[in-house]
Each structure stands twice: as structure tokens, then as C-alpha cells.
Chains A and B, each alone.
Chain A
């Protein structure tokens, strides 16, 4: 029968495909990539997906890991926070990946957290965030507040002698938590509450006239004033434009931003931004051998000489290299073994130093303050003397002052109260 012939052929074909697939799977180590490739966050996250792919390609050129090739598994959570949790489950149960690099916004990380803890996966999170969290299954390679916000305020206070503070942010969890920490920090430093102005605006705000005029009035009281900005995304452009139009220059009232990097500045009219500040742990303009090699590699990989590098890319680079080292040290990709091997691992960062993973799953990082230049790059005007160790739980919030995270025996807890000596679950 013709039909049965077809069927048997098809079955044979399917069987061989399945067989080769399983064989293939056994031969590779799977690396999950969980970054939005569509929706509002695609602008920022696509770059990180490409960074992971570049790192995987390079590792494979070096002969892979533990004698196996690395195989990237890319999924698209589409800037949709619940979809992040679903895609994580898919990566861990269907694709059985050994590690995931992913997430950008805090809300997406919070969505992934219960799944990754339930299924005991491993997530590398590469973006600066508000802290107040430490999970056994997550490594935070971006900056904690004490590695970005606090040193930036110190710089303004000590070097620019700022006495009056505007804390301006977009209305969501990261700016609100960061500003709470900063306000507590400023008050502890003896700043009068009257000298602090806090302002929140919706996502994508574009009518900045009255807020900028308020800042101008607030800043004309005879004391040096600065704006600490956690304004997110493209709302920054009309904000800086309005500052320029109302005649506020960076010399009068400098704005230090935590979410404006090279990527955000590329393709922007940077004229009104020149002289304003940003605090990061990495700038493309930093001169070091590692950085030059990285930039060259990135431009070659992406095939575009105009593309820039930025801080979350460096965090991805460090995270990936650390994971490779930890797997080599543990001799396996088993999550528990790698998690223990990770602590204390050091790899070079891109600014000429060494990043070390601490017991709270955070990194040690240098903190740099850069001034925006007309070409969209940053000129470093200040940096911390040495490395700053990432602190998961802020020392300046009353609720988290006594809490530490330590993922080594005997504490083994992400939320350990040093006064009552109790561990209250992982993250709450």
C-alpha cells in the first residue's frame, strides 16, 4: 500500500530526527536567554540577548565548556511580566537549560523569582536595581543601590558641595525604593527635609514645563542644587530638552541620572544634555585593554561600527565569565554545585579591575561618575578609590538595617536578621 509506505517512511524520518535531537542535547550545555525582543523593553533588552549570543559563540570557539558545546536557547517574553514566569518555566522544564541570562525591569525579575526558586534554576540578572532582595537561585551582576545611587550622592555632596536635592523619578518600584533609601541617607547626613524635593511622573511623561520650572525655583534659593534622576526610558529626552530651553545648564543645576547610558544616548540630540552626569560601573570611554578588546569584538559581532556598549552589557559579560569559571571549578552544571562554586569567584571586569562574587550573590564593582559629552559618550570625572562591595539589604532603611544575605553555611539565608538571629524565608 502506498499510504502505509508513506507512514513508515515518515515514522522513520521522525524517529531519526528525534534520535539526533536527543543525541544533540546530551552533547551540549544549554544556555537560556530570557530577554524581551518585542514590546517597550525591546530597545534595551535586545542588546543583552546579542551580548549573550556573542559570549556563547566565543566560548564555543575556545572549545566549549567541560568538553561540550554551548547551545543558546532564546525565548521572547515580549515585555509582558507574567509571560516572563511562563517562559522561565518553559526554559527549565521543556528545554532543560542549565543557566538563564535574563530580565531587565525589576517587575520582570519579581515575576521570574517564584518559578526559578520552585524549579531550582539559575538566573543571572545584569541590571542595576533597588536591592532588598537576595535569592539562592539568582546572581545579581548589576549594581545594588550602594554601588550606584549612594556614591553618586556622595560625589555631589563632597565634590560639588550640593546642599539642596531634587529626587525626580518615574512612578514605579525602582525609583520609589531608591528614593526612599536616598532620602534616609540624606537625612542621616544632616540634610534638612526642607532641602529635599521629591517628584514622581508617569512613564513616558512629556510635558515637563511646570516640573522644570519648580526645580528652577527650588534651585534659586542660594544653595547649590542638584537633581538625582531615576527618570526612566524616553521621558528623559523631553526632560533634558526642557531644562535646556528654560536656561538651566549643568553648571547651575547638574542632573545625575541612573538610567541614562550610551545606548539611550545613541541617536539622540545630545546638545541639551552636555555636562549632565550619570553614575554607572562602566562607561564605553574607559580606557583598558579588556574594554578595547570587548568593544572591538562587539562591533565585529554586530557588524555595525556605530554600535555602543553599556553598563548592563558589562554586567552580562562578567556574569557569563563567572558562570563559565564556576562550572569549570565545580566540574558539572548542576545548579547546587555551581551556586556554591560561584561564591568567591573572580573575573576581570572591563574597567581594568577584578569583580568578585560575594556571599550575598552580589558583585564588587568600581563606581564611576561621567559627564555627558556631545558625541554621546561619557567623560569620567570621578571614581571610587577601590571596589565597592554590593549590599543586598540597604543599611539606610529602618526595615532592612539589620538584615544580611549570606549563602554559605552556617547561615545559608537571603534574609537573615543579625539581631534576632533568624532567617525569615528567602526574600520577604
Chain B
């Protein structure tokens, strides 16, 4: 190459400067383009390759391209790698809003125009290929500039130990500056040492290095060292090392079990917050107004379908759809609630049995209406990206975002509702009418309107619950049925007419359920909770927080 370069300089001397510069540049670029062509042709082999041949091709691509191949690997991992049927050109294809596929070069990212789906064929990917891809990306990005990418790479290398990666790890640890990545790399090296080293001093040191780590790989390694195999020999022959491993294991196990119970509490609170959301609306219609509303579940369902409709109408704004859906669902379910109250429930005042039957009928009508309009099949509600995935606190403890947000959302709804009931004139009227109807009317409260608005408020809250549930469960005509029993259970358990009772009742039932579940299984846990509530109601018929004084009459 230097020869060529010299030659070019020679030529530059002979001819004009301008041309020389161009030539120089061309010559400098030459090796790059040769190498890019190699990578391109290596990548081209993926077009139409059978699954069994793909790993070999990927190895070739990795060897030729190095870090330059990473964009293509990432595209392949995400399932965006296609090839054109016409010329077998491997491309990255992403579906745009119009249903067309936007093509780009998988390596450089240069646009290659749009195409129909039918003109493309997907490059086959299976789990084995994905594992291979992740490994390759980890190897290639261990020296990347992005610390998050390095962290991911180190994590991958730790989880899938391979002796061939040792030199890579050693080289990376020399230059690494990010403390998290350094820790992972050290752990990976120490694990490798534990598996291969014959020097017991070194192994002892390695055990101390990994002692504080919660990585599953560490625990498994230590476990295998202190356990006897089939012949009665310990995995680790040196007693001192074994003892250190045992000590480390005890610490790790106690930390894991601590985080385990923390996790269970979170699961319980999360289930509780779902119950709370579902029950809050009912706590108003049933608790405050005393209407047994069997159509409550269907009002939740309407909220969920509103979310679906918002996403259908605004397909470009999935990320924000929930923020639009919350007020929309409140309005839709609230209006339906007012309609139910005005057309049916107000004529049945003080006749609980008839109200129950009538609202049960309404629930069937609403279900069938949804079946007729939207089909009996479940509807697909998308989860925005900010609600997917989990908040990783450490390798044994993580909180899923959707549950976390739903929990916070339930608390917000609860406190806003408290404010409305205790700090606004509507709230004052509602409390007045629910405590003494005729007295309230005597001092000029329009009880009829207050009834309608209260019922609308409770129904609107049910609609909001539907928005949250659409992120956790299936949106279909039967959605409401699944929650109506739980809602009544929570309200009765917490104490009719008391919002704080509903909060405490919902959260405690959730936590109890989740602590029972690992012991008894999901089916029995539900039954036990129900039996517990029956016994509890026998003992305290007015629930956890009964209303006291004359209001309770």
C-alpha cells in the first residue's frame, strides 16, 4: 500500500495538484472499498440461506467486517433484515405508516427507496441464530464508545462464558473506565478463573472478587463448588476455598431472599392497585349511593375499548395515546353511566333487588353491543414503549414499568377522587345526599342531579380503570366480568361508603394473594382469599372501616 501511495505522490508531482488530490483520495479509499465489498458479499450470502447455514455465514461476516457489521447484526436481531427477491440484495426494511417498507443499506444506513412487502423475503432467524448474534454483538461492542452498549456486552459475555473470549475480556478490562462494566468484566474473569485455574490461592482470590455479586452465574458457580457430585467429591477440592465459597453463598442467598420478599410485596401492591382501580368507581356508586351496579364491569370494558378506539383513530401517536384515552374514557363511561342512571336506576330507588336485576340486564346488553360492533374477538391494544420492559435494580430484582405506572396511576386517581369528594361543592352535595336525602333536598340540593352526577363520576372512574387494564389484560367483551366480583369483594371488605377502606382493602388483598400464590398456586390462593373474606364478613359485617354514627343507619 505504501508503494502505491508513493506512486501516487510521484504521479501527483507529474500532473496537476487537483487531479493528484483526487487520485490520492481514491487510493486512500481503495482498501476501504475492497474491504466493504468483502463485507457486502459476505453479507449477501444470507439471502435465502437455510437456517443451518446462517451461523457459518455470520462468523464470516464477523471476521471480515468487525465492528462495521454491528448495524447489520442488530437489524437481523430485531427481525428487520430482508432481501429483495429481484436481485437478492440484503437490505434493512422497516414498515412505515403507509404500509410500505422503507429500505436501507444494513451497513451504511443509506436509503434504498421504498418497496412492497411482496418484493421482499425475510432473512431467516431462529433462537439459535439470535443467541449467536447477541454473542457476536457483545464481542464486537465490548470496546464501543457507548457505555450502555459495553455494559450489555459485558453482561452477555458473563452469562454465556466461553474460553475463547478470555483474551477479549482481559484486553477490555485494561481500557475500561466505567465502574459497572469493570465490575462485570472482573466477575466474568473471576468465574472463568474458578472454572479453569489449578492454583487454589488464585481461586480463593476469585471467590472474594465475586462474593458480593448477585449474578445468577456467580451463584451457580459457587453452588457447584460446594456440592458433592455423584462420586461424593466436592466440586472444589481445597477446603479453604470451599469454605469461602460457602460463606459467599450464604450472603448471596440471604440477599436474594430479601429481594425476593421485596418483589412479592411489589407484586401484591401492583395486584392491589388493579383491584383498587376497578373498585374505586364501585366504591362511589355502591358505597356512597348504595346502588348495586352489576354493569360496573362493563363500564370498565367501555374504558378499555375507548383506549382501543383512540389508538385506531391516532395510529401515529401510540406513545401518547394513553394520555388522550384517560379523559376520553372518563367521558364515555361517565356519559353511559349518567344515561343508565337517568333511564333506569332513578326509577328503582330504594329497591336493591330490582336494581341488581336491571343493571345485570344492562351489563348483558352492553356486552352484546360491543360484540356486535367490534366482533367477539379480543382487540389489540398497543403498549407504548415507555410502558414496556422493566426497571432493573439489580440482577435479581426488577420492577416492570407497566405495573409500576399502573400502581402510581391508581394512587393518583385515588387522591384526586378524595379531593373531589372532600374539597368541592359537588363532593359536599354528594355526601349530603348520601347521608340524608330528604334533609339535603329540604335545604335546596337537587338530589336528582346529584344522583346522576355521582353515578356518572363513579362510572367515569370505572372507564379510567379500563384504560389501565387495557395495558395489563385482554381487551374483549368479557373483560368486565373478570373484575366485577373482585370489585364488590374489595368494597365490601374495606367497608361500604369509605374510600380509605377501599384503598387499604384492595392493597392488603393484593399482598395477601401474592404471598399465598407461591405456596398454594394461583387457583387455591384465590379460593383462600374468598374464604377469608367470607369469614371476615361474618365477624365484621360492615367491613374494615365501618361508617359510624347516624350516617351508618
A contacts, CB < 8 Å to B: 40, 42-43, 160, 171, 199-202, 204-207, 209-211, 213-214, 217, 220-222, 234, 237-238, 241-242, 244-247, 249-251, 254, 267-269, 274-275, 371, 373-374, 379, 381
Contact = CB atoms under 8 A, between A and B. Distances in A.
Contacts of A381: 51, 126-127
B139 interface: no
A228 to B, nearest CB: 16
B376 A222 contact: no
B450 interface: no
B522 interface: yes
A214 B523 contact: no
9 contacts: A207-B274, A238-B472, A245-B401, A247-B390, A267-B378, A275-B126, A371-B127, A373-B122, A379-B124
Interface string B131-145: 100100000000000
A209 B380 contact: no
A246 B224 contact: no
Contact of A246 (B219, B398, B476, B514): B398
Interface in B368-410: 376-383, 388-390, 392, 398, 400-403
B478 interface: yes
Nearest to B482: A204
Contacts of A234: 378, 474, 476
A292 B217 CA distance: 48
B226 to A, nearest CB: 14
Nearest to A205: B522
Among B127, B270, B402, the most chain A Cβ lie within 10 Å of the Cβ of B127
Given A237-B473, A242-B400, A244-B389, 15 more contacts: A202-B522, A204-B482, A206-B482, A210-B264, A210-B518, A211-B522, A237-B378, A238-B472, A238-B474, A251-B127, A251-B130, A254-B127, A269-B381, A269-B382, A269-B383
A274 B522 CA distance: 27
Nearest to A207: B271
Contacts, number: 114
B526 interface: yes
A206 B472 contact: yes
A204 B478 CA distance: 10
Contacts of B472: 206-207, 238
B220 interface: yes
B398 A247 contact: yes
B521 interface: yes
Nearest to A220: B216
Among A201, A206, A254, A269, the most chain B Cβ lie within 10 Å of the Cβ of A206
B478 A267 contact: no
Contact of A222 (B124, B224, B382): B224
Contacts of B67: none
B65 to A, nearest CB: 23
B341 to A, nearest CB: 30
Contacts of A251: 127, 130-131, 134
Contacts of A171: 523
A160 B126 CA distance: 12
Contacts of B176: none
Q: Which 10 A-B pairs have the closest CB atoms?
A: A222-B220, A220-B216, A206-B473, A245-B400, A234-B474, A209-B267, A201-B522, A251-B131, A210-B267, A210-B517
Nearest to A275: B127
Contacts of B127: 160, 250-251, 254, 275, 371, 381
A185 B379 CA distance: 38
B79 interface: yes
Contacts of B124: 379
B382 A245 contact: no
B145 to A, nearest CB: 25
Contacts of B208: none
Contacts of A245: 388-390, 400-402
B263 interface: yes
A166 to B, nearest CB: 13
Given A206-B473, A210-B264, A222 B522 contact: no
Contacts of B476: 234
B116 to A, nearest CB: 14
A254 B264 CA distance: 24
Nearest to B481: A204
A214 B518 contact: yes
A213 B131 contact: no
Contacts of A43: 376-377
Nearest to B270: A209
A207 B260 CA distance: 18
Contacts of A42: 376
Given A171-B523, A245-B390, A269-B383, A213 B263 contact: yes
Given A247-B390, A267-B378, A213 B126 contact: no
